[in-house]
Amino acid sequence: MSTLAHGSQKNSTLLIELQEDIVIGKIAGVELSINIALPETTTLEPRPVVILIHGGGFIAGDKSSKNQQILKLSKLGFVSTSAIYR
């Protein structure tokens, strides 16, 4: 699933893309995945990355609860992600 949001940074237009449920591994039959928000600009420079991990003590919570925060960080030029953990 992919969602788009619009933002601006220093007179350039950013198109933020949110990609959800990207599988990064599997442990004991459980798929581990991330949601990632990418700023789309025309830079070749490396970008900082922010990884958010929800709380919940292995009982409650989901990486999707951080989607609004990773979108906000992407508007600032960060590659940002929220991960499910086990």
Which whole number is the average pLDDT over 7-26? 70
Position 15 scores a pLDDT of: 55
Q: Please, what is the Cα angle at 67 between 61 and 70, to 5 degrees? A: 120
Per-residue pLDDT of 46-73, as tens digits, reads 889 999 988 776 677 788 888 999 999 9
- The reported pLDDT for the residue numbered 40 is 75
Model-level pTM greater than 0.75?
no
The residue ranges of every structural domain in the chain are 2-83
Q: Is 25 helix (H, G, I), strand (E, B) or coil?
A: strand
Q: Which residues contact 40 (CB under 8 A, 6 or more apart)?
A: 14, 15, 16, 17
Neighbours of 35 (CB within 10 A): 25
Going 27 to 31 to 35 to 38, the CA torsion angle's sign is: positive
